[in-house]
């Protein structure tokens, strides 16, 4: 499959004029900022979910369970309520690890020529 087909498959508009590198960097910075905002929001939400569950907030509010509480208070299903807990626990577990480096696509990474030091030939004897 060619690049043109790949772009169309992923929703790229082939009639749109190409971006300048400066505009592409600007758009990328905007995406990065939005993703950072989401990460911060998810981190806050996860911490609050974990705290609320640990404190059993549903009991003094008269709900028989966590899922009942989440459905009544936030309109989310049992599965979504437990997914929130899973996210909270996963974030807590990964809090001690450093964030991953930004991923680069293989086609964006230029190929490097082999290092002259990596040859397998042995030095010749005198």
Of residues 89 and 27, more confidently modeled: 27
pLDDT for position 43 = 87
Q: Is the model's pTM score more than 0.85?
A: no
Per residue, the 3-state secondary structure of the chain, as one string, reads CCHHHHHHHCCCCCCCCCCCHHHHHHHHHHHHHHHHHHHHHHHHHHHHHHHHHHHCCCCCCCCCCHHHHHHHHHCCCHHHHHHHHHHHHHHHHHCCCCCCCCCCCHHHCCCCCCCHHHCCCCCCCC
pLDDT of 51 higher than 70: yes
Convert the pLDDT of each residue in 72-110 to its tens digit: 999 999 899 889 889 888 887 877 665 555 555 544 444
pLDDT for position 94 = 78
């Amino acid at each position: 499959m060619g690049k043109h087909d790949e772009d169309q498959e992923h929703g790229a508009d082939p009639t749109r004029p190409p971006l300048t590198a400066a505009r592409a960097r600007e758009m990328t910075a905007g995406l990065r900022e939005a993703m950072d905002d989401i990460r911060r929001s998810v981190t806050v939400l996860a911490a609050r979910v974990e705290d609320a569950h640990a404190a059993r907030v549903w009991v003094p509010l008269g709900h028989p369970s966590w899922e009942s509480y989440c459905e009544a208070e936030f309109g989310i299903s049992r599965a979504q309520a437990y997914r929130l807990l899973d996210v909270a626990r996963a974030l807590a577990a990964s809090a001690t690890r450093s964030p991953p480096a930004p991923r680069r696509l293989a086609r964006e990474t230029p190929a490097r020529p082999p290092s002259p030091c990596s040859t397998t030939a042995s030095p010749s004897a005198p």
